[in-house]
Amino acid sequence: MAYKASDIPADLLARMSDADRAAIGQAKVVMEDDRPLATWRSRFRSQLEADYAERLDLGGRVVRWYYEPLKLRIAEQWYSPDFMVVLAGGAIEFHETKGVHRGRERGMAKLNAVAALYPMFTFVLVERRSDGNWKMRRIQP
């Protein structure tokens, strides 16, 4: 389904520039359906993503989350954030999980580029530290 400006809360839309609104029209939303807990782990691309999904469901500030719900255009490529997270206050963030692997630098470059191209969205880098705790860092455009 196409992502439209009407899908964005009016107060947020009013604060966006014309360029930002035009960028929204390039995004494509594919929302996940609600699946039983037993099928969760099989739908993630990595163990890290599956573990983070379980953490998101622990409650607290997260009301709902979606796994890879949309694609954002970056030049001739597409970027799909790992999670769209809806917070208790209604704010929406895109969380990207990253582990320690060979392709990390390329993934980080893409994340920084998408944050610069879509400044109307909040992007958060999520990393699991060696002690098992999670580190979160907001990516600044």
Sequence letter at residue 38? A
Give me the phi and psi of 69, to 5 degrees please: -80, -15
| 47-68: average pLDDT | 83
Alpha-carbon gap, residue 23 to 53, rounded angstroms: 28
Residue 74 half-sphere exposure toward CB, CA atoms < 13 A: 18
Domains contained in the chain, number: 1
Token pair of 23 as six digits? 């960028």
- Residue 21 maps to which CATH number? 3.40.1350
- Position 32 scores a pLDDT of 47
* Per-residue pLDDT at 50 exceeds 70: yes
User: What's the one-letter identity of residue 70?
Assistant: L
pTM of the model: 0.69
User: Would the pLDDT of 18 be above 70?
Assistant: no
